[in-house]
Structure 1
């Protein structure tokens, strides 16, 4: 368009002058993006397209004309830095995970095989992953690994990943530091854990990064583990829950695993703490998923199917030790307690008589000392449980 416009200028000298100015500007812009940024000039912007909703949402004043960082759709152009960019670190964690799960040796890696990923972000994602994935195709092919490609466009919510989630190997979850971002991250993390994913990488995106500020996580689809070596109660429960959804167990395999699961459950049945007339808490287990992420696993015994049906909710609130309050995340420091409530899945209407269930709640928390209150209640008729179970102080710093 610029060429056509300049060619339309009638005077030769004027046309040459304009061409000279344009070429000078392009040269400076190239140097600005590739070698060194030119001081204050790198912040020159024009308010073009500033009325567009996505432009406003990102806080930009419009199209950038001359700057050390340019955002163009899914791509990020920026002056070079000594360290790796966030998208490169996220993709490296995916490549590392691919190398550990690779069943065939590199020389026999299937040429052209694809590891599909999906990106989830409540705002237009600034990560530019599809640009970086194309850059690393050659190295993945050399190592005999699958190359990465998006299975669909970015989703604004976790539910938007369906139905393609069944074919998805990785989820890249980005959450800007806006609003109640901790609750938003926990909700998304819970959704994907239920679908059989596990968190393999977590990064804090700093203010001075083109993709920040925010948090970026990579979650990987967890395949069927070695059933003979699976002895952990919570792992066995998860395998049984995902049978028929993520993989198919034979009748013999399922029967053997159910038998081992029942034996493992017996060690928890001697410590029943009533939550109401029909339901008891057998165990609250805390496990570490990654830095600042923990899994709270509730083992609950149902004596009789609840009459309240789908409306029952698990009340779970945490108080931090007064000596540790300064260590909380900034949005949590003014709260009297942390809300870790659980909406049971399956819902109470599907609980069977004399059945033990395990509910897993991922929480984003600093490694501090917490005291947890638990209860079961119907939010349609009461604000909180009439009977509460209070734990001793649990030191998250000692959990590995």
Structure 2
């Protein structure tokens, strides 16, 4: 291991004995002296106070940042910022990342400087049932926790920030402005983690003992918003038609050149005519109660972005067993329009009427936000994308399923 941090040398050397998994992961990370103590997607910086701590705390604090890097928290924070735009709260995301990492380290019997923020504490603030550390770590990842904390704050709960202040919480993730939401190293780190955790499991100590109980592991992942944008963009893509009454410009040039040369006239080539009609999107919104408010908020924000970028005419069809309401959404302020006129919630689900009415609009694509638990009609003539909060138990009979899992 090449370590350029004098302050971290003793702690990193001790990791091989204390925690084989963390020691293996540390080999893939750059270690530098610097202030304040922080980590980004590739480097940990150690401040002057680090070397003054007892060795067990040094090991735990180094492990805290090693897991930040290994779990790809910095690029995942950038991806969430790309998703939420101006609504993004970096402090809340950092808090969510810290409590998961700290809970894992404490479960692995590492020491941490006190006071330390913990996942179990935040889950209690959210009103979640008390769980064993291993169960909570398996159930929660940083994105889900960040969104849950945001939903709690939107309901007027200020307990999260009060808790953070009481624990003297200070953000320690350094954003990487150059990468944005992309993380080309996610797949590599998935492999590093798998091998390191297996080594720790076989050694029977350290973080490796939790190998099967960590739900926050990174994975190569294309955010659902980016997938949705691609699907809609392809459906709205310009498909020019031939205009038989107008010659193509290149045919005119070739025909003139042939006449001047006295050679045979080339075969007629029609021009391509642009369809001047404004593209149209039909959006079916399942209001049966199966779609949670925070997911509806994210979907509305992405829908607004899609309409703004494409200039598409966007028709909303709110439905459960029947279509309750149809709206032509404004070119701007789509999310605000949905909040201003809340939709009825509850009831069963059927996709028959909503897809029939969507088809009548002759859209380029129909996007349906639903849990896919309903009655399906025959396949419609236009492409359908099912945006669903959770992977369905069985695939629908047609359409593309897009799992909004982040």
TM-score normalised to structure 2 length: 0.23
Which of the two has greater strand per residue?
Answer: 1
Which of the two has greater helix per residue?
Answer: 2
TM-score normalised to structure 1 length: 0.23
